[in-house]
Amino acid sequence: MQNPQSYVSSNIAGFINLLEIAKSANPQPAIVWASSSSVYGLNDKVPFSELHRTDRPASLYAATKKAGEEIAHTYNHIYGLSLTGLRFFTVYGPWGRPDMAYFFFTKIDDVVKGCVGALDTAEKSTGSGGKKKKPAQLRVYNLGNTSPVPVGQLVSILESLLGKKAKKHVVGMPRNGDVPFTHANVSLAYRDFGYKPSTDLASGLRKFVKWYSGYYGVETRVKKEIQGAGEVPEGGSA
């Protein structure tokens, strides 16, 4: 809401730039790209399924991701590009984006497996030199965890792992620009490439804190336990 042009520049103009290059390549690549669970917007049916409506975005970000899905359809239809959109539900873990509020979860390891599965099952594009020869593959999948997690549970686990009490400032949900929950139905991804999240929140956050403390040099309870056991933090060296 504070910087709308950044979303338009990246999610619409940037995506079109990529597709313009891909359509004229010979051979054309198959593309797996990042959509978002935000496209479900004001949908109140849970868990969210790829069959649910996505025409009521709750934020401009969501609207640009939905626009990306429609743009993908257009380039698939006109130019024969093979396109797979992945609707990511909030992802956390080592090397995660530092701006993400970890509300509802799937672990990066699980998501990477989903991305690789989508790549491995992507069919070839069917165009050449900007001209479509026959219909091409067009897909969209949810990638997320099937068990939503309350924010309070996240905070409690992090307090334990960090050995510190959180300074809590509880605020109400904004009236616009956000949704109260997300919940992924991943049965389609499981059917097509065996996607099945397997990491519980406590284990995943422990690995994240381990990476974070090593990467940023932060002293945490987890880091002390690692050092006491003689284990080398991820990204470190013996």
- Write out the two tokens for 33: 């790209």
Nearest 10 degrees: Cα torsion 154, 159, 160, 164:
170
13: Cα separation from own chain's centroid:
20
Whether 7 is catalytic: no
Which of the following is catalytic: 7, 61, 75, 102? 61
Name the helix (H) or strand (E) containing 62: helix 60-79
- Cite the DSSP H helix spans in 102-186: 108-120, 151-162
* Cβ proximity of 35 and 114 under 8 Å: no
Q: What is the DSSP letter of 48?
A: B
Which one-letter DSSP state was computed for residue 42?
Answer: T
For residues 123 and 69, is the Cβ–Cβ distance under 8 A? no
CA–centroid distance for 123 within its chain: 22
| Encoded tokens for 99 | 């701006």
CB neighbourhood size of 232 (10 A):
11
Catalytic residue annotation:
61
